[in-house]
């Protein structure tokens, strides 16, 4: 139950941020905003200010923005003609539509920067267990050893250590470890093993047969470094999201990996148990996904509107209303099909015990 409530709140915040982007940029460029609602459904409370109705609605899942003249066939009152969305220059319309996805990505940047300022747990490169017969045991690595250097490179986390080892299958590595206050130099040749990337692609990585001791430290960054790390995380997740979607289309990643609301609730429940840092990191990840997916050129999505604007820029005139309606119907079918597939995958995973 907690997972469901947190998931609703999380998605509500992200949809609100998305709509806030449209609202702020529309106001900045003089586009009229008839209504900015927090939530959907029947209004619980509203107030009008500056020509905009600000409403609080009964279904607390995000919100929406209603622009003046957002439908080209809409009859706009004479007094609002200058603020009509479709009477604004193409560049303004592009900015207003693109602001929603952009705000989702920027929101992730803000969240991650805040987390790096606050402090994140980092798994220490301390060996907890050495597997019998492993390359680590053969080289003399022992439980309690802290890896300090690998091939002269400083190791400050289990992740950075694992990355260096995985990149060197079959290659001798010179490790410097701290063993009860003394520096010990070891040479280990990682064993080549088959593995899969996060996209399910096969690759060969190096393994030495050790398990982490499970000791963590809290690492806090100064504002400049926190912003840089926040940007690096955001850039990496944008890239991985785009690559992941492309690989699904290429069938490199199976479509059964696509998830919907049920999967999100399950993952949110896991993050709640893991702590506030994990939850907010997941929130940033979902925000990036929402932003990137909305930029895909599928009619109905923001990316579809941007596609229409791009065609308009080339043709020097907008598409006909009939053409847009046909494209949007196709887009709606695509979205419904994706949602149906996501729900099917969720239910299949649920009935299959998460497999």
pLDDT at 144 over 60: yes
pLDDT at 185 over 90: yes
Q: Are residues 131 and 54 in the same domain?
A: no
**Residue 2: per-residue pLDDT:** 72
Residue carrying the six token digits 């490199």: 252
pLDDT at 239 over 60: yes
Tokens of 113: 């920067």
Q: Are residues 285 and 178 in the same domain?
A: no
Q: Are residues 115 and 244 in the same domain?
A: yes
Query: What is the rounded average pLDDT of the residues 215-232?
Result: 95
**Residue 89: per-residue pLDDT:** 92
How many Cα neighbours within 13 Å face the side chain of 88? 25
Choose one of 219, 242, 266: the last residue of a domain: 219
Task: State pLDDT tens for residues 163-172.
Answer: 999 999 999 9
Instruction: Please name the helix (run of DSSP H) or strand (run of DSSP E) that holds residue 218, with its range, or none.
Output: strand 216-219
Three-class DSSP category at 206: strand
Is 184 within 8 Å of 155 (Cβ atoms)? no
| Residue predicted with more confidence, 280 or 50 | 280
Q: Are residues 109 and 127 in the same domain?
A: no
Give domain status of residue 177, yes or no.
Answer: yes
What predicted TM-score, i.e. pTM, was given to this entire model? Answer: 0.84
228-248: b (≥16 Cβ within 10 Å) or e: ebbeebbeebbebbeebbebe
| Residue predicted with more confidence, 30 or 70 | 30
- Give the helix, strand, coil percentages of the chain, each rounded to 5: 55, 25, 25
- 74: DSSP letter: S
**Residue 256: per-residue pLDDT:** 75
pLDDT at 337 over 70: yes
Q: Are residues 108 and 135 in the same domain?
A: no
325 as an active site residue: the answer is: no
Give domain status of residue 226, yes or no.
Answer: no
| DSSP code per residue over 138-198 | HHT--TT-EEEEETTEE--SHHHHHHHHHT-TTS-EEEEEEETTEEEEEEE-PEEEEEE-T
Q: Are residues 322 and 265 in the same domain?
A: yes
- Measured from the Cβ of residue 209, the count of other Cβ atoms closer than 10 Å reads 19
Choose one of 219, 246, 281: the last residue of a domain: 219
Give domain status of residue 170, yes or no.
Answer: yes
Which is it for strands 173-179 and 182-188: parallel, antiparallel or unpaired?
antiparallel
Q: Are residues 111 and 240 in the same domain?
A: yes
- 159 is in which domain, residue-wise? 121-219
Q: Are residues 115 and 151 in the same domain?
A: no
Number of domains within the chain: 2
103-128: b (≥16 Cβ within 10 Å) or e: bbbbbbbbbbbebbbeebebbbbbbe
Q: Are residues 111 and 237 in the same domain?
A: yes
- Least Cα distance to 30 among 65, 67, 55 occurs for 67
312-323: b (≥16 Cβ within 10 Å) or e: eeeeeebbeeee
Give domain status of residue 224, yes or no.
Answer: no
Q: Are residues 86 and 142 in the same domain?
A: no
Three-class DSSP category at 261: helix
Q: Given 19, 75, 151, 201, which residue is catalytic?
A: 19
**Residue 42: per-residue pLDDT:** 85
- Least Cα distance to 37 among 47, 27, 25 occurs for 47
Give domain status of residue 335, yes or no.
Answer: yes
- Measured from the Cβ of residue 226, the count of other Cβ atoms closer than 10 Å reads 20
How many Cα neighbours within 13 Å face the side chain of 188? 33
Which CATH number fits the domain that encloses residue 125? 2.30.42.10
For residue 280, what are the CA distances in angstroms to 268, 271, 277? 10, 9, 5
Q: Are residues 207 and 265 in the same domain?
A: no
pLDDT at 235 over 90: yes
pLDDT at 1 over 80: no
CA–CA dist 48, 63 (Å, integer): 17
Query: What is the rounded average pLDDT of the residues 204-211?
Result: 94
Give domain status of residue 100, yes or no.
Answer: yes
Give domain status of residue 53, yes or no.
Answer: yes
Query: What is the rounded average pLDDT of the residues 215-221?
Result: 93
Give domain status of residue 248, yes or no.
Answer: yes
Q: Are residues 84 and 157 in the same domain?
A: no
pLDDT band at 155 (very low <50, low <70, confident <90, very high): very high
pLDDT at 193 over 80: yes
As a dihedral over the C-alpha atoms of residue 72, residue 75, residue 79, residue 80, rounded to 10 degrees, the angle is: -30
CA–CA dist 102, 85 (Å, integer): 19
Please tell me which of 62-66, 122-126, 318-322 the model is most confident about, judged by mean pLDDT.
Answer: 122-126
CA–CA dist 11, 9 (Å, integer): 6
**Residue 25: per-residue pLDDT:** 96
- Least Cα distance to 82 among 68, 96, 98 occurs for 68
What is the average pLDDT value for the chain, to the nearest integer?
A: 88
pLDDT at 342 over 90: no
Task: State pLDDT tens for residues 98-123.
Answer: 999 999 999 999 999 999 999 999 99
**Residue 353: per-residue pLDDT:** 56
Choose one of 174, 193, 219: the last residue of a domain: 219
Query: What is the rounded average pLDDT of the residues 228-233?
Result: 95
């Amino acid at each position: 139950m907690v997972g469901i409530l947190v998931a609703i709140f999380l998605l509500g915040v992200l949809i609100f941020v998305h709509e806030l982007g449209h609202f702020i940029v529309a106001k900045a460029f003089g586009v009229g905003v008839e209504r900015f609602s927090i939530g959907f459904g029947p209004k619980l409370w509203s107030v009008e200010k500056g020509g905009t109705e600000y409403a609080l609605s009964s279904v607390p899942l995000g919100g929406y923005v209603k622009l003046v003249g957002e439908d080209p066939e809409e009859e706009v009152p004479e007094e609002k003609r200058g603020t009509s969305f479709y009477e604004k220059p193409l560049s303004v319309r592009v900015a207003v539509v693109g602001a929603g996805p952009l705000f989702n990505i920027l929101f992730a940047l803000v969240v991650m920067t805040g987390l790096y300022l606050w402090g994140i747990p980092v798994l220490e490169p301390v060996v907890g267990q050495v597997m019998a017969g492993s390359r680590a045991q053969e080289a003399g690595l022992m439980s309690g050893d802290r890896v300090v250097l690998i091939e002269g490179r400083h190791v400050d986390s289990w992740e950075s250590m694992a990355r260096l080892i995985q990149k060197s299958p079959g290659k001798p590595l010179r490790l410097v470890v701290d063993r009860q206050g003394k520096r010990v130099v070891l040479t280990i040749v990682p064993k080549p093993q088959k593995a899969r990337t996060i996209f399910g692609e096969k690759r060969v990585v190096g393994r030495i047969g050790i398990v982490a001791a499970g000791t963590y430290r809290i690492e806090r960054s100064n504002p400049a470094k926190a912003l840089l790390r926040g940007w690096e995380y955001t850039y990496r997740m944008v890239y991985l999201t785009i690559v992941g979607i492309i690989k699904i289309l290429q069938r490199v990643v199976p479509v059964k990996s696509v998830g919907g609301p049920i999967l999100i609730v399950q993952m949110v429940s896991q993050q709640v148990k893991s702590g506030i840092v994990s939850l907010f990191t997941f929130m940033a990840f979902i925000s990036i996904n929402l932003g990137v997916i909305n930029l895909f050129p599928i009619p109905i999505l923001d990316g579809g509107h941007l596609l229409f604007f791009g065609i308009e820029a080339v043709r020097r005139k907008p598409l006909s209303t009939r053409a847009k309606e046909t494209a949007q119907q196709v887009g709606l079918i695509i979205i419904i099909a994706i949602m149906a597939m996501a729900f099917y995958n969720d239910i299949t995973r649920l009935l299959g015990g998460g497999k």
